[in-house]
C-alpha cells in the first residue's frame, strides 16, 4: 500500500433535522471524484434526513496522491473507505458506482456495514467482460477511455456516449470534461484480474443492485451477473446511461434507493441489538 500524505477530500451534507441514525457513504467510480455525488444525491438524501458523505479516493479530486496515481492499488482505495467506516459511530450504508461498486464489495469482505447499494457496478467477476464488450461495440469510446487513463483529455462527445442516454447540455458536458481525470492503471488491472472480490467472504448485509438499460460500460447483462453472484435481484432502469446519478432521471434512481433504505436501517438496528444480547 502507498502511504497517503494528508487527509482525504470529503463532502458531507447534513440534514436540518436528522431522522435516521444510519449514515450514507458514497464511493465514486473511475475518472471522477466526490463531486459526482454532490450535484444531486448528497443534497437529496440530506433532505430525506440522512447524513450523506462522499469521499474522493486517493489521487482523485482534492485528495492527495495524484502524483503517484498509477502506483495506487485497489487495496489503497479500500483503505480509504475503511478509514471513513471506522470513524462512524454507526456502520454506514455504502453506495458505490462503477469502480466504486467493486471497492464497496471489497470493503464488505473485511467490515460489517449496514447495507450496500451497487450502481452500475463492476461485477465480482471483474472488468474483462466489460472491456471486451466495449472494444467490440464501441471501439472509439474504448480508445477515448484509454487516452484518459494515460493522462490525456477527453471530449464532451465521448462523455455523452459514456455516461448519458438522456438529454444533457453541451455546457454541462464541457464542465464535466474539465473535471474528469486519469485513473490508476494498476487499479484497472486489479479490477480485471488480480484483486477480485470473493462473494463468499462478504459479510451479510442488505444489498441493492441497480443498473441502466443503455449503459455501454456496465451493460444490464453485467449488472445481472453481479446480482446473481450476490444472490439478489437486479433492477434495471430503462432509458438511462452509465452516469445514473447524473442523468436527467436521477430522481428515479434516488427514490428507488430511498424506498429501500428503511429495510436496510431496520436490519442494521436488528444486528446491533442482536450483538448487544450476545
**Residue scoring higher pLDDT (58 or 268):** 58
Average pLDDT over the chain reads 92
The yes-or-no verdict on residue 76 having pLDDT over 90 is yes
CATH-assigned architecture of domain 10-126+183-277? 3-Layer(aba) Sandwich (3.40)
The whole-model pTM stands at 0.94
Domain boundaries, the chain: 10-126+183-277
Apex 28 CA angle, 251 and 95, nearest 5? 60
Apex 195 CA angle, 190 and 197, nearest 5? 125
Residue 276: per-residue pLDDT: 38
The yes-or-no verdict on residue 256 having pLDDT over 90 is yes
pLDDT (tens digit per residue) in 20-40: 889 999 999 999 999 999 999
CB-based contact 27:105 (threshold 8 Å): no
C-alpha cell at 151: 493522462
The yes-or-no verdict on residue 74 having pLDDT over 80 is yes
Residue 270: per-residue pLDDT: 65
pLDDT (tens digit per residue) in 144-203: 888 777 666 788 999 999 999 999 999 999 999 999 999 999 999 999 999 999 999 999
Residue 278: per-residue pLDDT: 27
Residue 10: per-residue pLDDT: 98
What percentage of residues in the chain have a pLDDT greater than 90? 81
C-alpha cell at 108: 464488505
Amino acid at each position: 500500500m502507498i502511504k497517503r500524505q494528508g487527509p482525504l477530500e470529503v463532502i458531507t451534507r447534513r440534514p436540518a433535522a436528522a431522522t435516521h441514525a444510519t449514515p450514507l457513504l458514497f464511493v465514486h467510480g473511475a475518472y471522477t471524484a466526490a463531486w459526482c455525488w454532490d450535484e444531486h444525491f448528497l443534497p437529496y438524501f440530506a433532505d430525506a434526513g440522512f447524513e450523506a458523505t462522499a469521499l474522493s479516493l486517493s489521487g482523485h479530486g482534492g485528495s492527495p496522491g495524484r502524483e503517484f496515481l498509477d502506483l495506487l492499488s485497489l487495496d489503497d482505495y479500500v483503505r480509504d473507505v475503511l478509514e471513513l467506516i471506522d470513524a462512524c459511530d454507526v456502520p454506514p450504508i455504502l453506495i458505490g458506482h462503477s469502480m466504486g461498486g467493486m471497492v464497496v464489495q471489497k470493503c464488505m469482505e473485511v467490515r460489517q456495514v449496514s447495507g450496500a447499494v451497487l450502481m452500475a457496478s463492476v461485477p465480482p467477476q471483474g472488468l474483462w467482460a466489460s472491456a471486451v464488450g466495449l472494444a467490440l461495440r464501441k471501439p472509439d469510446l474504448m480508445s477515448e477511455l484509454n487516452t484518459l487513463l494515460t493522462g490525456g483529455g477527453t471530449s464532451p462527445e465521448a462523455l455523452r456516449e459514456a455516461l448519458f442516454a438522456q438529454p444533457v447540455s453541451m455546457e454541462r458536458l464541457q464542465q464535466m470534461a474539465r473535471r474528469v481525470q486519469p485513473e490508476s492503471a494498476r487499479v484497472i488491472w486489479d479490477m480485471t484480474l488480480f484483486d477480485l472480490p470473493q462473494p463468499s467472504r462478504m459479510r451479510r448485509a442488505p444489498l441493492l443492485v441497480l443498473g441502466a438499460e443503455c449503459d455501454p460500460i456496465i451493460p444490464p447483462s453485467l449488472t445481472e451477473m453481479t446480482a446473481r453472484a450476490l444472490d439478489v435481484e437486479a433492477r434495471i432502469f430503462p432509458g438511462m446511461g452509465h452516469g445514473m446519478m447524473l442523468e436527467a432521471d436521477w430522481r428515479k434512481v434516488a427514490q428507488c434507493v430511498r424506498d429501500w433504505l428503511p429495510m436496510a436501517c431496520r436490519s442494521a438496528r436488528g444486528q446491533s441489538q442482536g450483538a448487544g444480547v450476545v
